[in-house]
Amino acid sequence: MSAPAAAPALELRGIAKTYMLREGGTLRRRHRPLQAVRPTDLVLERNGILGLVGESGSGKTTTGMMALRLVNPSGGRILLEGDDITDLGVTALKPYRRRMQVVFQDSYSALDPMFTLQQIVAEPLVIHGIGDARSRAARALEWLERVGLHRSYGSRYPHELSGGQRQRVAIARALILEPAVLVADEPTSALDVSVKAQIINLLQDLQADMDLSILFISHDLSVVRSLCDRVAVMFNGRIVEEAEAETIFTGARHPYTRALLDAIPVLDPRRRRTRIFRDRDAIEAEGLTLAAGALSEPAEPSDEPALVAVAPRHRVEAVVTP
């Protein structure tokens, strides 16, 4: 894992995913391709927190899962700290698995109900054969404290915890191996506002302490604004705009990004979704046109609209404005 010092924590080059959907009954079964992620470039800088936003179904989770090699891409390359891990098999991948971890929205299903919290947090050490039983137990307790839970929680079970406490345990378990990259997929979406803020603060502190880079997937734009230093906006399987967080929130150039930002006060995801679609019509009514391929169904990779740099470190899908 000797990467050049300048290599980003994570780099996705032309990453793409097409799912084959089975349709019809047993007799007339057909397969329809669904382009969940179209060829996409994405860079997570070292010690950076990159927000990945976009409406439901835009391909955020698929992108995150491909970065972690939990979903195999249909095309493109994945580089972890400069090393190409795209084609590595289970054995070759194992040392890299230590370097990338994930926290999901619903950590309850990821926490084995039969295990104590100490066992749950120590498990990655067991899987990777690190330390002995005693040192693992000690480290697990340290990590419980580090995420804000008293050591006495070590002998408790997941069902005894609140949602916020469970996310703390999930974070401890993800970080005990001291990974380079954390993919956090909607980690605060199921939490109350005050608890959400605590978890965000915790992630912020740990990121600064640990040389950690975070890919933060979220619907929650206010959280993204407070946490992330860069933001990529995903729409229909593509990244349509990417820039520093403040640039996205104050100087967005892509009509879809603006539509998404307009939807900030709408809390119900279903309503938010309708709102975005309505705004998209509004965009067109204003005479703005989304780039070719952004709205239409599967384009060939070669037809993909290019991202153009409109300012340093600010890329936008080519948009035609009459």
Between residue 199 and residue 228, which ones bind ligand ATP under the rule CB under 6 A? 219
| Choices 61-69, 90-98, 132-140, 231-239 (CB under 5 A): range interacting with Mg ion | 61-69
How many chain residues are in contact with ligand ATP, going by CB under 6 A?
A: 13
Per-residue x/- marks for ligand ATP, 1-20, CB under 6 A? ------------------x-
The reply to whether 188 sits near Mg ion by the rule CB under 5 A is: no
Q: What is the rounded CA–CA span in Å between residue 31 and residue 11?
A: 31
The reply to whether 57 sits near ligand ATP by the rule CB under 6 A is: yes
Backbone angles phi, psi at 197, to 5 degrees: -60, -40
Pick the closer one to ligand ATP by CB: 147 or 224.
Answer: 224
The reply to whether 36 sits near ligand ATP by the rule CB under 6 A is: yes
| Choices 40-48, 59-67, 112-120, 203-211 (CB under 5 A): range interacting with Mg ion | 59-67
- H/E element, 51: strand 49-53
The reply to whether 164 sits near ligand ATP by the rule CB under 6 A is: no
The reply to whether 60 sits near ligand ATP by the rule CB under 6 A is: yes
DSSP 212-278: -EEEEE-S-HHHHHHH-SEEEEEETTEEEEEEEHHHHHHH--SHHHHHHHHTTT--SHHHHHHHHHH
User: Using the rule CB under 6 A, which residue among 56, 109, 162, 201 binds ligand ATP?
Assistant: 56
Pick the closer one to ligand ATP by CB: 19 or 115.
Answer: 19
Sign of CA dihedral 258, 264, 268, 269: positive
- Closest distance to Mg ion from the beta carbon of 56 (Å): 7
Pairing of strands 30-44, 10-23: antiparallel
| Choices 42-50, 58-66, 86-94, 160-168 (CB under 6 A): range interacting with ligand ATP | 58-66
- In angstroms, the first-to-last Cα distance of the chain is 49
> Which residues does 68 contact at the CB level (< 8 Å), separation at least 6?
100, 102, 183
Pick the closer one to ligand ATP by CB: 51 or 154.
Answer: 51
User: Using the rule CB under 5 A, which residue among 35, 40, 61, 236 binds Mg ion?
Assistant: 61
> Which residues does 268 contact at the CB level (< 8 Å), separation at least 6?
none
- Closest distance to ligand ATP from the beta carbon of 143 (Å): 28
> Which residues does 222 contact at the CB level (< 8 Å), separation at least 6?
264
Among candidate residues 121, 219, 211, the one with its CA nearest the CA of residue 171:
121
Q: What is the rounded CA–CA span in Å between residue 15 and residue 77?
A: 6
Decide which of ligand ATP, Mg ion, none touches 56; Cβ closer than 5 to 8 Å per partner kind: ligand ATP
User: Using the rule CB under 6 A, which residue among 62, 118, 236, 257 binds ligand ATP?
Assistant: 62
| Order of all β-strands in the sheet with 100-104 | 100-104, 181-185, 213-217, 49-53, 230-235, 238-244, 314-317, 307-311
- Closest distance to ligand ATP from the beta carbon of 105 (Å): 8
Pick the closer one to Mg ion by CB: 61 or 107.
Answer: 61
Write out the residues near ligand ATP by the rule CB under 6 A.
Answer: 19, 21, 34, 36, 54, 56-62, 219
